[in-house]
A = this chain, B = another copy of it.
């Protein structure tokens, strides 16, 4: 597939008749659900945290598809979502943090008047740094909107190719008062509940999902009036809405693209009454149990979707992509347990470029193409999904205004999974640990297992210091990962194969590798003109890793 950068040209979607031979595609994305936040074990073993969760439908999906065990997203929501919809790395799109509901309002804490006003805390605690200039209004499908990335969104291309494009749930690509605020401008034909909100004001129908005089703010969930006061949890309500939208394209035999973006399991951490008792009985504390009940709610939703597709006879014609938008939130006290331990063995969580913040669940089911119950371990990143989904849809070329960084994973998930299945049949893979070490060569997948993946968070997340989250940048290449601590200028090196928990900084022992990765990261950030914090004293950007 050849993607062209046509700067300055307006994109006209080609007029293409419905093509019934195209596979349906469901992108099922969960919010803030970490890598170990399910009973699906993406790791070399089942970790203790996996045992807190009961997610039979995620297991069902894993048994039907391929699991990508080294899949990455950005540390926070919007950058992942804009990378998915544009194919551009967050450091390149300059959308490196989440978008505020209101336009031109920085969400990063330092210099963030909003955060200060909301918390009453002086947010200027980083002292030395001013916040970077970044595309704080998010992504725009129209040109000329200040502080946005102008890009051609994925659903517009799918719609142009004859897909019936559906948005259900959380959008969060852009701030109010800009075109990116509306899924309809992104190429979606149907929208339920997609707005500027990055989280729901409430999951509870008793709260009208935040639409009460006491609770209302811009996070109140829209399009949900039929469920007010009905006792139906938001996750269930969105599921019913999603299934409703599929009725028409299935009856009319139109291929559909359903982007089903659950608000769960983002804060507020509120119990799903259908499932909580199991977790209380397990001895989890109230916060842990609430969170686990929310995860099971999402699992039920996935199961209902799979059941529906089977009942309608289209399960085999429908690709399912399951993913989450960043690592589990390990910082929020409402989740119970011990702070920053939620993602073990991974270090830290949401907001951080350590593995706990960026390594995410990713599974793909594709009947006849993806070998079931397999694992593929090549590192992949959220922007890869843009060309991947175009490839799945059979779109050979597309005119887009942005430079796409992602690589199609189609061969990786199809031929790669088939290779893994073959190896398992031949006895070359005996267990999960070996499966996680199995390499799909680039000659088969088209994806270099040694390509560099960049993560960049030049922000302060909260109006208080979080040293393993704020102002971090990282690059992963093969087994190696370099972390750049912008506050101190320190460069850390980890070997993820031996040390998935990033506990042993081996920079001192591997100066050449540090230099190589620092150059790699710097080259990207320089080329992309990525946002960097400024030194308050000088008003200038802080140094790149190769300038230290």
Contacts and interface: CB of A to CB of B under 8 A. Distances in A.
A91 interface: no
B225 A195 contact: yes
Contact of A244 (B101, B181, B184, B230): B184
Contacts of A179: 226
Contact of A159 (B102, B182, B184, B248): B248
Interface stretch (A214-222, A266-274, A355-363, A431-439): A214-222
A248 B188 CA distance: 10
Given A216-B216, A241-B184, A248-B189, A223 B226 contact: no
B177 A230 contact: yes
A177 B248 contact: no
A218 B211 contact: yes
B177 A227 contact: yes
A120 interface: no
A102 B212 CA distance: 11
B15 A226 contact: no
When A and B form their complex, which 5 residue pairs have the shortest distance between CB atoms, in order from nearest? A176-B228, A181-B226, A222-B222, A181-B225, A182-B226
A223 B188 CA distance: 13
Contacts of A208: 176
A223 B182 contact: yes
Given A184-B244, A241-B184, A252-B17, A217 B213 contact: yes
A18 interface: yes
A191 B226 contact: no
A226 B190 contact: no
A228 B177 contact: yes
Given A189-B248, A211-B218, A213-B216, A226 B17 contact: no
A192 interface: yes
23 contacts: A13-B251, A18-B252, A101-B225, A102-B228, A103-B228, A103-B229, A176-B208, A176-B225, A177-B228, A179-B226, A181-B226, A182-B223, A184-B241, A185-B226, A189-B190, A190-B190, A191-B223, A196-B225, A211-B218, A213-B216, A222-B222, A222-B223, A223-B223
Nearest to A218: B211
Contacts of A195: 223, 225
A245 interface: yes
Interface in A256-301: none
Given A18-B252, A180-B226, A184-B241, 9 more contacts: A102-B228, A103-B228, A176-B229, A184-B244, A189-B245, A211-B218, A216-B216, A218-B225, A222-B223
Nearest to A247: B13
Interface in A119-165: 159, 162
A292 to B, nearest CB: 28
A178 interface: yes
A101 B225 CA distance: 9
A180 B226 CA distance: 7
A228 B226 CA distance: 25
Contacts of A177: 225-230
Nearest to A221: B222
